[in-house]
Amino acid sequence: GNSVTQMEGPVTLSEEAFLTINCTYTATGYPSLFWYVQYPGEGLQLLLKATKADDKGSNKGFEATYRKETTSFHLEKGSVQVSDSAVYFCALTSSGGSYIPTFGRGTSLIVHP
Amino acid sequence: DAMVIQNPRYQVTQFGKPVTLSCSQTLNHNVMYWYQQKSSQAPKLLFHYYDKDFNNEADTPDNFQSRRPNTSFCFLDIRSPGLGDAAMYLCATSRVGQGTDTQYFGPGTRLTVL
């Protein structure tokens, strides 16, 4: 079956530091890959996505590249802000008609001033 | 703005007292989902509707039921809440069949069971 593995948190950084949150996946075929973000007390919202190998998703300074050879979709940001403090979920939907996403366990990011 | 709306945002109920959570959407999406999320965990899918077709996850307790009277609305009924049902309940939607799998989430309902 499908699975998503994320690095354990919390990740604690100072403002303006570089961020990487690792995500690897197991799936058959060519899944679509997503990063969702959940701010405290809110629902999840799509941060970025990529639907085929070598695609780069980007939004709000965050980037992730779909790497089929390493089955990875690592999230990066060059300079984090306090407002980026949230929980980040990596997710996939598999090709072949299954629209139900598989979520990773989530990684909490805490950014200090 | 098109969106997913959940009411109430906070719900307090007593042990064993039925409760209904509401979700509405203005996105005209054909699939609506209910998730349960406990602290520091990923959302856990309870069930979903694909149009009018109800799809229950195998491990969803019978205590949880759902209704979708029309495209825009979906309800989660908890018939006899236990202390273990205290959680955040998230409604989500997606448009399946038109090339996108993105889910759109509501803000959630925080359920407290006393």
The closest of A83, A84, A89 to A106, measured between CA atoms, is: A89
Instruction: Convert the pLDDT of each residue in A82-92 to its tens digit.
Output: 999 999 999 99
Angle at CA A22, nearest 5°, toward A21 and A23? 125
Strand partners, A93: A32
Quote the CA–CA distance of B58 and B66 in Å, as a whole number: 15
Mean pLDDT along residues B8-21: 96
Mean pLDDT along residues A14-36: 94
Interface test with A, best of B48, B103, B111 (most A CBs within 10 A): B103
Question: In Å, how far is B17's CA from the nearest CA of chain A?
Answer: 25
Amino acid in the structure at residue A29: G
Sheet containing B64-67: give its strands across: B4-7, B19-25, B73-78, B64-67
**Is A44 within 8 Å of B45 when comparing Cβ atoms?**
no
Q: Find out whether B107 and B6 touch, Cβ atoms under 8 Å.
A: yes
Question: In Å, how far is A30's CA from the nearest CA of chain B?
Answer: 13
Quote the CA–CA distance of A64 and A57 in Å, as a whole number: 5
Please, which pLDDT band fits residue A94 given cuts at 50, 70 and 90?
confident
Please, which pLDDT band fits residue B2 given cuts at 50, 70 and 90?
low
Q: Find out whether A6 and A106 touch, Cβ atoms under 8 Å.
A: yes
